[in-house]
């Protein structure tokens, strides 16, 4: 039952976000913010597929314990692509609200992203092992959480200042995604049911993508 439900959910998710991303790239009509948003959605779906497709195969065949290496490799790739996702979202913010300068802010985004990627590349993560250390799961997610917090604050402040109704809940989608993700990082290994929080976390990302898509449909006529 888990295999059917989870695999179906993941298939709908991956197809949806990649399709929406392609539609946004093609339908942006030269608007850079929506073209960036489209690439952001494609990166999200493509990156997650490296983890979700092996997971679906494992659930539908011989079990997760026999797919340790592809699952670990997929999580590794997804960790990097999610970082790219937030960098692209930062540039969506700059384009949407016509932000210029603020080189220090841009530097902070790149530094946090670089630290996150560097930590993901450390062999101590033991990505390809069945027993990845919790400590390194925490280390690599500290700069990631700080990056997310920065993006939350930027969208919250700018949407409020510009009375941007289309993007007024963007900050909340990011809050929810991290709110559901952090407990998984901390406790999923000891309490497996907490892993179910990845479903609402995924839904939060779909909401993020849909915000951009509906804004494009309204503004790019």
Q: Are 210 and 20 in contact (CB under 8 A)?
A: yes
Can you give the residue range of the structural domain that contains 140? 2-219
Q: In total, how many domains does the chain have?
A: 1
In angstroms, what is the C-alpha Rg of the chain?
18
Model pTM score:
0.94
Question: Is residue 185 within 8 Å of 125, Cβ to Cβ?
Answer: no
CB 92 within 8 A of CB 33: yes
Could you tell me the CATH number of the domain that includes residue 139? 1.20.1070.10
The pLDDT, as a whole number, for residue 23 is 95
What is the pLDDT at residue 147? 97
Q: Is 102 helix (H, G, I), strand (E, B) or coil?
A: coil
**How many degrees, rounded to 5, is the angle at CA 118 between CA 187 and CA 194?**
15
Per-residue pLDDT of the chain (221 residues; tens, 9 = 90+): 777 888 899 999 999 999 999 999 999 988 999 999 999 999 999 999 999 999 888 888 888 788 889 999 999 999 999 999 999 999 999 999 999 999 999 999 999 999 999 999 999 999 998 788 999 999 999 999 999 999 999 999 999 999 999 999 999 999 999 999 999 988 887 887 888 888 999 999 999 999 999 999 988 76
Alpha helices in the chain (DSSP H): 2-27, 32-60, 68-96, 103-121, 134-161, 170-187, 198-219
Instruction: Please tell me the predicted confidence (pLDDT) of residue 12.
Output: 94
If one counts every other C-beta atom within 10 angstroms of the C-beta of residue 76, the result is 17
Neighbours of 166 (CB within 10 A): 15
CA–CA distance, 31 with 25 (Å, rounded to integer)? 9
């Amino acid at each position: 039952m888990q295999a059917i439900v989870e695999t179906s959910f993941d298939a709908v998710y991956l197809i949806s976000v990649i399709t929406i991303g392609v539609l946004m790239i093609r339908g942006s009509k030269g608007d850079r913010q929506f073209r960036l948003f489209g690439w952001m959605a494609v990166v999200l779906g493509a990156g997650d597929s490296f983890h979700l497709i092996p997971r679906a195969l494992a659930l539908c065949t011989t079990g997760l314990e026999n797919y340790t290496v592809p699952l670990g490799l997929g999580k590794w790739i997804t960790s990097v692509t999610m970082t790219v996702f937030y960098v692209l979202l930062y540039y969506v913010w700059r384009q949407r609200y016509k932000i210029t300068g603020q080189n220090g802010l841009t530097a902070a985004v790149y530094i946090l992203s670089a630290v996150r990627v560097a930590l993901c590349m450390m062999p101590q993560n033991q990505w390809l092992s069945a027993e990845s250390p919790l400590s390194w799961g925490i280390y690599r997610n500290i700069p990631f959480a700080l990056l997310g917090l920065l993006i939350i604050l930027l969208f919250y402040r700018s949407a409020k200042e510009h009375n941007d109704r289309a993007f007024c809940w963007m900050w909340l989608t990011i809050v929810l995604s991290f709110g559901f993700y952090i407990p998984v990082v901390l406790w999923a290994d000891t309490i497996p049911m907490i892993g179910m929080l990845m479903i609402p976390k995924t839904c939060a990302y779909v909401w993020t993508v849909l915000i951009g898509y509906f804004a494009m449909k309204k503004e790019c006529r």
